[in-house]
A and B are shown apart, each in its own frame.
Chain A
Amino acid sequence: MSDEGTKSTSTADDGMKNPGWAGETGEFDLSESEVRGVDYVGEQPTEGWDAGGVTAYPYQRAERDPEAPLFEGPYRERLEKILRRYPNRRAALLPVLNLAQEIRGHLSQEALERVAEVVGETPATVRGVATFYTMYNKRPVGRHLIQVCTNVSCNLCGGHDVFKSFLEHTGAEPGTISEDGEFTVIEAECLGACGFPTVVQINDRYFENVEPEHVPEILARLRASGTAPASDGGTDRASSGPGLETESRWEPEAKSRSKPTSKKPRGEG
């Protein structure tokens, strides 16, 4: 959580006070970090109870290594926990695909084959399942995957303009990687946060109440979010992941105002 990062961008926050939360009319004065807790993305969930299933979350780092070994080290542990939570192996297919995508960033042919081995199904079956779901990237994406909701509630409030603005400022065609390798922008279906339009999902995080004029600022911060360390699968995200840094830059003033949150993330205590 670097303070430098926050200072350099603090001025631009005025126009987008509390994005990510419905505070735009000024009636509501909670900062996002107060609301969500700065730790809301928390540490890399390698531990966890088998039943709680924290191990199954796709932990979408901004940058992933498409060559990374699958299911080794801490990932192996998580894989085993995942497999233990279902009465049969096949049921673990989605969580295992999630894990593979978390490690690699997208699901290559080879990754699908490995997953097929793990769950004891044929590669064709796994391909059939993986292609059914939109969140599995079948080809590489940029360092940041930006999904702009253009469905009806957001669209009524300018969702399509936000989408166009992201395209314009990244210079990318929809679904392709921008030239600098940073961004892939796609249109998303309703993200289930329709009360806070326009909703944009960037990697694993929602940005709410986004207006077209916020876009350059968001992109600048994402660009500045540094390079994630090589995939290690296990370390505490608060110290190394880009997600949280982004978050702290996001809320410079709120950060200084915020009282320590009442909820300590498990594992930090």
Chain B
Amino acid sequence: MANRSDASDQITCTIDGQEVTVPRGTTILDAAEQMGIGIVHYCYHPALSAPAMCRMCLVHMEGAPKLVPACVSPVADGAVIQTDAPLAEEARTGVLEFYLVNHPLDCPVCDAAGECKLQDYVYQEGRKHGRSVEPKRVLGQDDFGADVLYDGDRCIMCTRCVRYMREIAEDDRLCVVQRGNRSVIDTFFGEGLDGSPFASNIIDICPVGALLSKDFLHKARAWDLDRTPSICPNCSQGCNITLDTRDNLVQRLKPRHNPEVNSYWMCDYGRYRYEWINRGTAPYPYGMPAPAGLEADEGDGSALPPAALPDRATISELRLESPMMRRDGVPVPVGWQEAILGLLERLRAVSGGIQVIGSPHHGNEDNGLLKRVQEVVGGDDAVYRAARAAAEVVLPGFQKLARRRDLAANTRGLDALGFRRVGDDSAAGGLAPPASALIVLGDPLADLPAKAMADAELVVYMGAVISPTLEKADFLLPLTSFAEQEGTFTNFEGRVQRFWPALNPPPMARPAWQVLGVILAGLQDGVAPASAGDAFLRLAELYDPFSGLSYPVLGTLGSMLNEPVRLRAGEEG
């Protein structure tokens, strides 16, 4: 056997008739996964300790006296493993039958239906007919506080949630109460999970519908949701997420695995602040005086209220629906072509350079091209404003992840592009009434009086919603929000990560990079970027921190600013 593989740390074994070479110590489950053989499992979760208690992953290993749990058994050199041995299949079918002895099977009213591992595995490997005719145990539901609702009847006792709270959140508030088939998950009596800033991750890792989000309760069926990979827009950590949407509205945010940024997790602060995305506004009362309570924020930022906004019915009234140009002191709707041509004319006539205000809620492409316009037209005052929480909130068991102080996704990107941060921690103040020409991206300038714009030579507002301050702007250009377009954010440590369009924008709204790209083309007699990727390539040419990066380089997991990236290494080598 020694000659099968050398003394190195690689070993070779056979799984379902195929040979595979893996590092020593790899579990059967991982090795099989690498070969594309999925072994069913409940209690095992790659980020948590493995208690090997659900007994779902039993496989046959030649020479072992019993079936072995694949999740904890390391492959041995030369081992012959059969995941589909009749005995193993029988055992797994048996285990699944046990799960159903007391399971209510109330899939029709269960939020997990469609993304439930019990459904999936029983469908895959279960018996056609259960043999149990006994009355089922009924436990009912328990409100765990925070956003979590526990359905004891559906719980399969995998203890993932308990282990997450102990090992990752390091806030040991869940426990298994009682033993045997009387076991249930509970907190310390009424203590609940309130105030535990990362608690909702247990909803994601629960393989079934036992832990439910109260926010999402009965909002949508899993199969009706569209899931778009994206980046959490609520702080500069840049957690990888999916935007789960239905009827063109975000229904919930779910973390997406990225080992460098957020592992499998995200914070509750970010997770539940998505309504603003549906409204196209900013996530907090942007540019308003500091909301009461912000100073008293204990660090988790939860004291920061989401923007007080009209309900969904009135969103369309709020959003900019078409480009507007001021004619004779009155803004009138115009087509894009007319607006752009008009704007180009005015820009060419600008005398003293322009001031630009960027937005940390817009991607690198949008802000970068804005900066470029300023460079072409002249002027050097590029600023932005963003809110800041009192402190970071670190996830103890995965310390790379913290709800950062900056409560916007792209502050670091703006810094890298040469924008200067102004204003206070509630994203207000710091701006003087503009003296010359001004282009505003996103920022509604709500804290400036309407007449503040009176002296400006030219005021251009590009954004999704309109504010009183800017009603009198010379140009009002409707933009898409980050959720309605493609783009990239640069997180706190300089990782550039892509997001994809999840919602349909209003018909006339356009991504800022497109609008600014056309303007640039007009100013310079060049070609406008054809796509967000194209716009990003321009940034890479123009701004050193981005040089060498491109969408293919970023991939799905992102890449660091100015990292010696693969493309270059390839060119040199």
Contact = CB atoms under 8 A, between A and B. Distances in A.
A124 B179 contact: no
Interface stretch (A127-135, A141-149, A209-217): A127-135
B459 interface: no
A175 to B, nearest CB: 14
Contacts, number: 36
A66 interface: no
Contacts of B174: 124
A124 B178 contact: no
A95 interface: no
A91 B186 CA distance: 23
A239 interface: no
A24 B209 CA distance: 58
Contact of B175 (A109, A113, A124): A124
Contact of A128 (B171, B177, B189): B177
A122 B178 contact: no
Given A124-B172, A125-B172, A132 B178 contact: yes
B302 interface: no
User: How many interface residues does chain A have, given as a range?
Assistant: 10 to 19
A132 B182 CA distance: 10
B191 A123 contact: yes
The 7 A-B residue pairs with the shortest CB-CB distance in the complex, in nearest-first order: A128-B175, A123-B188, A122-B172, A124-B188, A124-B175, A131-B177, A124-B173
A233 B189 CA distance: 29
Contacts of A125: 172, 175
A218 to B, nearest CB: 31
A127 B175 contact: yes
A132 B187 contact: no
Nearest to A112: B188
A173 interface: no
A112 B186 CA distance: 15
Contacts of B187: 124
Contacts of A3: none
Interface string B162-192: 0000000001111111110000001111010
Contact of B189 (A109, A122, A129, A132): A109
A127 B185 CA distance: 11
6 contacts: A113-B188, A124-B187, A125-B175, A128-B175, A128-B176, A131-B177
Contacts of B173: 122, 124
B172 A127 contact: no
B188 A131 contact: no
Contacts of A129: 175
Nearest to A125: B172
A64 B172 CA distance: 31
